Amino acid sequence: MLARTTIATLILAGAPLAAQAPAAAANARPTILPAEQQIAAAVLPIPAEFRPTAQVLGYGADAKLTVLRPGAGAYVCLASDPRVQRFHVACYHRTLEVFMARGRELRAQGLKAEQVDSARFAEIRSGKLVMPAGATALYSLTGGSFDPATGTTTGARPLFVVYIPNATGETTGLTEKPVQGAPWIMYPGTPKAHIMFVPTM
């Protein structure tokens, strides 16, 4: 079993938060990859059959998030933030887009992680923000490096998440304690409860 502090570090570095709002480091002149290369990297986390139809959000010349490629498929994918040195891409089911986009909006307003969650949870309770009724997936790759020439990554750590709003250990039969190599529930009993799959650290 992994220490909770170790898992917390992994999560804060991984998909769920980054999908909502990548934490940008101060960098006046980030290197922006061509849209085609950003797209190629962004779709890598998901199974190959979903990649051609995924919508991709990435970065324009102004380093602001924008739609690089429209898509009507199951996933929305985020390119790696050029203002952050660490490579990170994530793809989540499109029914999570309202939740993720709201997180980005709130962070852009200066709210921190706990404040963002409090605001979104209140909006969910009021009916203003609607979470998916069923299970929805999120995939990510973090760390390592991306080779634009080959469209492949080296050393990136995979993470798989299945959102089940308000799920608990009791309702799913899964532990609420962090476990490497086995599924467990993170944020149990909340709108963003999800099953964590951490293959390796």
pLDDT tens digits for range 46-91: 999 999 999 999 999 999 999 999 999 999 999 999 999 999 999 9
pLDDT tens digits for range 128-180: 999 998 999 999 999 999 999 999 999 999 999 999 999 999 999 999 999 88
Handedness of CA 33, 49, 134, 180 (dihedral sign): negative
Q: Rounded to two decimals, what is the model's pTM?
A: 0.85
Q: Beta strand pairing status for 55-59 and 75-78?
A: parallel
Report the alpha-carbon distance of residue 96 to residue 116 in Å, rounded: 15
